[in-house]
């Protein structure tokens, strides 16, 4: 192993591993187009960032360009998800992670309200059912530790 230790491994102190494809700029143009489309027709668009070849710095570039807007939300559903509106209203960044904290989806949604934030009828029904059970049994307190307990 001593031999291996002698091998000098140069480390670039600047850490400036360049790798911009210019795709960030193209995406911004695409977003602008989708915003116009949303205003004119009311139709939403979604861009899947995992399907776009990004260099090491492209994502940072895009996100810093989009910035942070008025709304941000964190979901806990099969792992954590983060949703925030960019500084351009109607442009949302949606990042889903699984239970292991790994990113499973990363999207830009151009819409008035991301679908994932809306409460769904099935969940409302099941919530209502649980609330009724609580009211019927007359229990004073209930735990919210596990919202996913067996119905």
Residues within the interface to another protein (CB under 8 A): 10, 12, 17-23, 44-48, 50-56, 58, 75, 77-79, 81, 94, 96, 98-100, 102-107, 115-116, 120-123, 126, 147-151
Sequence-ordered list of residues with C-beta below 8 angstroms from that of 107, at least 6 positions apart, any chain: 46, 47, 48, 49, 93, 94, 95
In the complex with another protein, the residue whose CB is nearer, 12 or 40, is: 12
In the complex with another protein, the residue whose CB is nearer, 144 or 148, is: 148
Please, what is the minimum distance in Å from the beta carbon of residue 130 to another protein?
A: 11
In the complex with another protein, the residue whose CB is nearer, 140 or 144, is: 144
Closest CA to 115 of 101, 94, 98: 94
In angstroms, the CA 57 to CA 64 distance is 11
Please, what is the minimum distance in Å from the beta carbon of residue 69 to another protein?
A: 20
In angstroms, the CA 113 to CA 44 distance is 9
């Amino acid at each position: 192993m001593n031999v291996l230790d002698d091998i000098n491994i140069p480390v670039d102190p600047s850490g400036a591993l360049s790798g911009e494809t210019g795709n960030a700029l193209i995406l911004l143009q695409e977003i602008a187009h989708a915003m116009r489309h949303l205003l004119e027709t009311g139709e939403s668009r979604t861009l899947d960032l995992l399907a776009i070849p990004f260099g090491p710095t492209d994502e940072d570039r895009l996100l810093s360009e989009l910035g942070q807007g008025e709304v941000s939300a964190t979901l806990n559903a099969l792992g954590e998800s983060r949703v925030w509106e960019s500084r351009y209203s109607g442009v949302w960044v949606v990042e889903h992670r699984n239970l292991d904290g790994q990113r499973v989806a990363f999207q830009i949604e151009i819409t008035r309200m991301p679908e994932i934030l809306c409460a769904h009828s099935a969940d409302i029904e099941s919530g209502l059912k649980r609330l009724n059970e609580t009211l019927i049994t007359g229990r004073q307190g209930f735990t919210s530790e596990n919202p996913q307990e067996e119905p």
